Structure 1
């Protein structure tokens, strides 16, 4: 096909690497969900409040490691889907161009 060429092997490699990273973010998400400030062992009210606040910050819904890992996972999922779509469309275009070129040669 005239015009640009896509390095299919490089894109397939990038997709595989992104999928690996996506799996690692799932592990990070799961680990972040289980974070606990274990070093705060005193049983007084102030320490208990501090332990609770630290755990909420680490595992809460806003700005926590858990949420960042989840957002990163979602972003990687989007990128993988976009790259897979690009690869599929490129291959379809290549196939169509090959078929069209064969028809032109046959008619000539």
Structure 2
């Protein structure tokens, strides 16, 4: 089944159909996660409200790291097999990984502020 979508034309046809509903779903889930992580969670007994930054900091760090690992895998696929979708995925993951790395640095600085 996966080799069927290795054809860029077939993949882009499927992607055009799925982008809109998955974008709406992802925005809703991100908003729900931010609400529960930043507003609905109780403050910590030692750190108070600043512990809520960890609900953003840790997932952002994981996503940045996993994004860069996925970029390495896509780069390997592109170099070895010259698959055009690997190059597309590689180029689209770079700004996302950079954004999550920036978010990790900002939230880490906010959380570590004395």
Structure 2 length-normalised TM: 0.47
Larger RCO, structure (CA 8 Å, separation 6 or more): 1
Larger Rg: 1
TM-score (norm 1): 0.49
